[in-house]
Amino acid sequence: DGGITQSPKYLFRKEGQNVTLSCEQNLNHDAMYWYRQDPGQGLRLIYYSQIVNDFQKGDIAEGYSVSREKKESFPLTVTSAQKNPTAFYLCASTPGQGSEQYFGPGTRLTVT
Amino acid sequence: QKEVEQNSGPLSVPEGAIASLNCTYSDRGSQSFFWYRQYSGKSPELIMFIYSNGDKEDGRFTAQLNKASQYVSLLIRDSQPSDSATYLCAVFMFSGGYNKLIFGAGTRLAVHP
């Protein structure tokens, strides 16, 4: 089955710890995205990558980092510099710019 | 003004009725428009996309686009309790120095038996 997988589904961390969220896709899409969703708000773009070994900051990149070493994988690291990391994190991919985006199941991160 | 605006709801409709969900956007040059459905605790699922003015139908769903009025809507015919979810409108537009998909905050739909 083609699709996007994210792991883990739930993640709990103590404040001050870095944590890495996994995102893998087998749709052969070039572009991948990371969003953050908070209650009552729309999705906000953290980082995106349109091609392997290249990525750009989105609207709320501070406190996050990414890598894109393989077409299939786009991991997101939430660093201790992120002030309010507790949120629902969504990874998406698209076959082309301006086309529909498909989402993974999400990772719910709780930092205490 | 928000770039993509939706009424947060909840929009309550009886089973079998037509649910009408509305969305306005700020960038007149936008070309791609999407509707996603999101159940509580789940990720968004693409329902429809529309690029041209007019109506686009897919089963019980119809997307309507009016670029002159900067307005896109989603109609759900014969609404079912399983349609109860939050519906996100998304518009591909130039914002903050680059092209990206901007999401509205969503409209919560409740279909009651």
pLDDT in tens, A43-79: 999 999 999 999 999 999 999 999 999 999 999 999 9
Question: Are B98 and A106 a contacting pair at CB < 8 A?
Answer: no
Q: Do B45 and A103 touch (CB under 8 A)?
A: yes
Strand ranges across the sheet with B61-66: B4-5, B19-25, B71-76, B61-66, B54-58
How do strand A76-78 and strand A54-57 relate by DSSP bridges? unpaired
pLDDT of residue B95: 82
Instruction: Report how far residue A91's alpha carbon sits from residue A104's, in angstroms, rounded to the nearest whole number.
Output: 6
CA distance B112 to chain A (A): 22
Residue B33 and residue B91 in contact, taking contact as beta carbons nearer than 8 Å: yes
User: What pLDDT shows up at residue A105?
Assistant: 97
Tell me, what DSSP letter sits at residue A73?
A: B
Tokens 């306005």 sit on residue: B24
Are residues B43 and A97, on separate chains, in Cβ contact within 8 Å? no
Work out the pLDDT band at A96, boundaries 50, 70, 90. confident
Looking at the complex, report in whole angstroms how far the Cα of residue B36 sits from the nearest Cα belonging to chain A.
10
Q: Are B88 and A43 in contact (CB under 8 A)?
A: yes
CA of B64: how far to CAs of A75, B108, B113, in Å?
36, 19, 27
Out of B31, B96, B105, closest to residue A98 by CB: B31
Q: CA torsion angle for A89, A93, A94, A98 (degrees, to 10)?
A: 30
Q: How many residues does chain A have?
A: 112
Mean pLDDT, chain A, whole residue set: 94
Using CA atoms, how far apart are residues A99 and A93, in angstroms rounded to an integer?
10
Q: A19 and A13 in contact (C-beta within 8 Å)?
A: yes
B24/chain A closest Cα distance in angstroms: 14
**Identity of the residue in B43, B101, B105 whose CB atom sits nearest the CB atom of A40:** B105
Chain A CA closest to residue B6: A42
What's residue B99's pLDDT?
82
Reduced to 3 states (helix: H, G, I; strand: E, B; else coil), residue B82 is: helix
| pLDDT for residue A13 | 92
pLDDT score at A41: 80
* Contact indicator for A107, A10 with CB cutoff of 8 Å: yes
Q: Does residue A1 carry a pLDDT above 80?
A: no
| B25: Cα within 13 Å, side-chain hemisphere | 28
Whether the pLDDT of residue A22 is over 70: the answer is yes
In tens digits, what is the pLDDT along chain B, a chain of 113 residues? Answer: 789 999 988 999 999 999 999 999 999 999 999 999 999 999 999 999 999 999 999 999 999 999 999 999 999 999 999 999 999 999 998 887 878 899 999 999 999 99
Please answer yes or no on whether B4 and A42 come within 8 Å at the CB atom.
yes
